Amino acid sequence: MAPAKLQPALVGGVAIGVLSALPVINIANCCCAWILFGGALAAYLMQQNHPEPIQIGDGAVVGLLAGVTGAFVWLLLSIPIGFAMAPLQSRMTQQVLQNASEMAPELRSMLESMSGGPTIGLGLIFGFFLMLVVSTLFGMLGGLFGALMFKKSPPPVVPPPIPPNVF
């Protein structure tokens, strides 16, 4: 019987998405730490819900599913976070432009154009596709490592009983 993958993948994906979307905590994702963690978490949960040792391929599949789920959770959380952070980012850009008097005009116009609303939407679309690719690959890798680390030892083989003397 194959281990159930849906619930562990959803939990691992929610962990990936939430930890990757939060503003300060997402810094650990520079080396894909949260994505690897979410894939390994999914493999761990799958192993805990299955009495037999899981296969490495099952860990990779559940990590991949967690990565896909994590990308969608990231998008759903990044939309309100991005719009909440937009005024702060706009003010910071304005302060940089005011304090940099010897900035090149090309760079100044580029910074001014990047502080608008359409840039946030394009950033979210680009970020989603990037997150989808990266989280599926590294989620699968985390699931593979999780399957190796958390694999239960197989149950001991009980030898058959010795038959009584027939003579």
pTM: 0.82
In the predicted structure, residue 167 carries a pLDDT above the cut 70: no
Give the mean model confidence (pLDDT) for residues 35-51. 96
For residue 145, the model assigns a pLDDT of 97
Q: What percent of the chain has a predicted confidence (pLDDT) above 90?
A: 56
Q: How far is CA 122 from CA 82, 90, 93, 117, 149, in A?
A: 11, 16, 18, 9, 39
Give the mean model confidence (pLDDT) for residues 89-100. 79
For residue 29, the model assigns a pLDDT of 85
Q: What percent of the chain has a predicted confidence (pLDDT) above 70?
A: 96
- The dihedral sign for the CA sequence 148, 47, 54, 4: negative
Decide which of 24 and 99 is more confident: 24
Among 37, 36, 55, 39, residue whose Cα is nearest residue 47: 55
For residue 166, the model assigns a pLDDT of 65
For residue 21, the model assigns a pLDDT of 94
